[in-house]
A and B are shown apart, each in its own frame.
Chain A
Amino acid sequence: MKKWILLLLTAILSIGLVACSDNTGSKEGSSKDGKKDGEKVTLKFFTALPDRETGLGGVEQKIIDSYMEKNPNVKIEVEALQDEPFKDKIKIYSSTKQLPDIIQAWGQSSFIAPLINNGLLYELNPADFEDKDFIEGSFDGFSKDGKLYGVPRNTDFLPLFYNKRLFEENGIEPPKTQEDLIAVSKKFRALGINPVATNGMDGWIFPMWFDYALQRETGSFDLMDDALHGDKSYTDPAVITAAKKMKEIVDAGVFADGYLTADYGTARNLFGQEKAAMYLMGAWEMGLATDENFPESFRNNVGVIPYPVSDKSKAGDLVIYQGGGYSISNNSEHKEEAVKFLKYFFESENWPKLTWQSGAGMPAQSFDKYLTGKESTLQKEMIDIFNSVTSASGTPILDDSTPEFKETIMSLHQELFTGKVTPNQFGEKLDAAAKKARDASK
């Protein structure tokens, strides 16, 4: 009997502990509600741009600060983490239904689909953003069944950066076709210079490159998506040929030694320290021309060209897509305030202008009117490529399906390049992965 009393006592004690923490929580909540009358609002803002001083994160913070200045009743609390930890934490937040009011979102199935499907994101009104000059089609990734769940922030595409000095001094022309790329790489190899630096350890760059390889083979980006959706198959001869071609390019030594174990920083440094002639990386690396960590001779000579073509494709056929953006969580208590902030954020004076003029990246809104004429050569070349678009890939293949598909396609590329699977097996395994992903999302 006494045992039971004791047990009860312990139970009460432990419940008491938990309840205490609950109390403080609800107190905070009630005070928030109380302040509502005075229109005091706290918005939680969760972003994957941890650098709050420079680059895109700097621009983001600047707009947040100016918004708080203009609206003293609104307080925006920023939480920032790197991409991968950010995505992990989003999962924890969503499983406990505690998503912050505004979160960074990627308009890509692998990220946003689970959130939409579980009703965690607030449906936005497209009319709110109609007058903000967003690039045609940029909302697609953030929409499902005609409903909008997020606003895109950046435009990203995959060009080929190159070091003009290394090309000129050695009398080599920048590659125009994939054959050129191989030939040019052989010349650089003979000179003891690494041809193309890239971050193979992270794995995501290869499937993006595969988008190009297949487009160069077939002349359109359609086969990639059709095969993913099951209308066609990855065992299609064109896919196998594209895989063979990629393997051929890899075997010809186009990528720098150790490319498979190079992470982002290693690859970037290799190129920035002029140890590699080219760099396969997204347009978000526009800041290379102003990065003080690299020698001046590099900064003055870094240029960019479209990915080399084949006879079936044009240089304007780009792997281009809208990546990051923002969504509002459905459990937010201040949805209207959050929408108001986003509208302010994307006003032409704010995000598009500031982003472009700081050279931090390319906004998802048209920015022609903010050209200052003082852009770096790299920025100008970037705009030329951007304006030359003849066809667009949309979301890169790896992000167009489930997270599992993404991991599988990333390691399949590594296996293909190291010879663990043949191009034929590559097609079969990819098809199996796509089928598995389709079954899972049914």
Chain B
Amino acid sequence: MNKLMSDKKTIFLLVAPGFLILVSMIIFPIGMSIYYGFTDWGGIGDYNFIGFENFKNILFSDEIFRTSLINALLLTVATILIQHPIAIFLSILITHCGRWEKVLRTILFIPAIISVVVTAKLWASIYNPQYGLLNNILDSIGLSSLKQDWLGNPDLAIWSVIIVTIWQGFGYAFLLYYAGLKGVPDELYEAAKIDGANPFQLYTKVVIPLLAPMMRVAIIIAVISCLKQMEVVYLMTNGGPGNSTQFLGNYLYQTAFSYAKYGYGNAISVLFVIVVLIITVVLNKVLKRDVGEY
């Protein structure tokens, strides 16, 4: 058996099917996508090879690409600055809830298991200026002057969408931090208490620094999912009004399939991948900090 497994032929034969699938389903399409990025293909018929023309246009004269990139970055920053502190705070709070702990953590995870379509339509109804919950609540507490067309006003729409994606991704962020907290050994709490740390010091000086590895994972996951954001926008506003809530994923879908500029869409996707790679590498470098063993 050992001899069989160390035989190169066997290894090759066993790896081949998986490798073939990987090549034909992932590597080959990515290669095709890069190739089409250099053409002016419209999705039907012939195309010409136009070199870096698409990339030049996207980088230097495509306002919508810029808006989508800025929106994606805005969403990422907002997620990290708003969602994660709340997630950490709530996960700390919940560990002190005694017998309610299990129930509460289940409830907090619910947004994550609801289908995206449902979430998007649910929030679209909440935001609806006609019969929406949000405006009705404002009405009933006497704040009618604050009533808004939440998704129709280009200045507010992007924030309305950001809140939904934060809400939707909250469950996973929470779960990661909660698991991280559970992983901090009891001795450390005890040691800190014996040393005279008050609860505030306990968390800011001991526990949260120990959460750093978890934070790193959570932040990278959040960044990737924010940059990839497409479904919620597609379902709630489809990038509108007037491209004010456009995101890269949605924009490249629109260019390829609605604008019938397949080559251009592929070029966007290539740039998109590059942007995500750069951000991930930078994040990895920045967040690489050893907290020591525990």
Contacts and interface: CB of A to CB of B under 8 A. Distances in A.
Given A88-B257, A258-B151, A407-B259, A420 B44 contact: no
B97 to A, nearest CB: 38
Contacts of B111: none
Contacts of A125: none
A6 B124 CA distance: 57
Interface string B212-242: 0000000000000000000000001111111
B44 A94 contact: yes
A414 interface: yes
A261 B154 contact: no
A403 interface: yes
Interface in B6-55: 8-9, 12-13, 16, 20, 42-46
Contacts, number: 108
Q: Which of B153, B236, B240, B259 has the most CB of A within 10 A?
A: B240
A334 interface: no
Contacts of A2: 9
- Main SS at interface, chain A: helix
A66 interface: no
Interface string B244-255: 100000000010
Given A91-B43, A91-B257, A118-B46, A417 B241 contact: yes
A327 interface: no
Nearest to B261: A404
A115 interface: yes
Contacts of A402: 260
B4 to A, nearest CB: 15
A403 B264 CA distance: 13
Contacts of A412: 242
- Main SS at interface, chain B: loop
Nearest to A266: B128
Contacts of A275: 130
Given A91-B43, A117-B45, A261-B152, A403 B241 contact: no
Nearest to A14: B20
B115 interface: no
A156 B153 CA distance: 32
A194 B242 contact: no
A260 B152 contact: yes
A90 to B, nearest CB: 8
Contact of B149 (A14, A257, A270): A257
A363 interface: no
Interface string B142-161: 00000001011110000000
Contacts of B136: none
Contact of A95 (B43, B152, B241): B43
Contacts of B260: 91, 114, 402-404
B243 interface: yes
A118 B45 contact: yes
A114 B45 contact: yes
Contact of A258 (B9, B149, B261): B149
B280 to A, nearest CB: 31
Nearest to B64: A411
B44 A259 contact: no
Contacts of A266: 128
B259 A261 contact: no
A117 to B, nearest CB: 7
Contact of B129 (A3, A91, A94, A257): A257
Contacts of A406: 258
Interface in B93-150: 124, 127-130, 149
B259 A114 contact: no
Contacts of B149: 257-258, 260-261
A120 interface: yes
Nearest to A403: B260
Contacts of B46: 118
Interface string A93-129: 0110000000000000000001101101000000000
A194 B130 contact: yes
B151 A261 contact: yes
Nearest to B23: A14
Nearest to A5: B9
A13 B154 CA distance: 56
Contact of A414 (B124, B240, B254, B259): B240
A336 to B, nearest CB: 26
Nearest to B160: A261
A259 B241 CA distance: 10
A428 B179 CA distance: 56
B241 A257 contact: no
Interface string A180-202: 00000000000000100000110
Contact of A114 (B13, B42, B154, B258): B42
Nearest to A404: B259
Contacts of A117: 45
Nearest to B46: A118
Contacts of B16: 10, 13
Contacts of A115: 44
A418 B258 contact: no
Q: Which of A94, A257, A416 has the most CB of B within 10 A?
A: A257
Interface string A204-248: 000000000000000000000000000000000000000000000
A203 interface: yes
A275 B128 CA distance: 14
A418 B130 contact: no
A397 B45 CA distance: 25
Contact of B240 (A257, A261, A270): A261
> Which 5 interchain pairs have the tightest Cβ spacing?
A415-B242, A118-B45, A414-B242, A260-B152, A403-B260
Interface of B: 8-9, 12-13, 16, 20, 42-46, 124, 127-130, 149, 151-154, 236-244, 254, 257-261
Given A10-B13, A418-B154, 17 more contacts: A10-B16, A14-B20, A118-B46, A120-B44, A194-B130, A257-B130, A257-B149, A258-B149, A258-B152, A260-B149, A261-B124, A261-B128, A261-B149, A261-B237, A266-B128, A411-B239, A421-B242
7 contacts: A3-B8, A10-B20, A91-B257, A118-B44, A194-B130, A418-B154, A420-B244
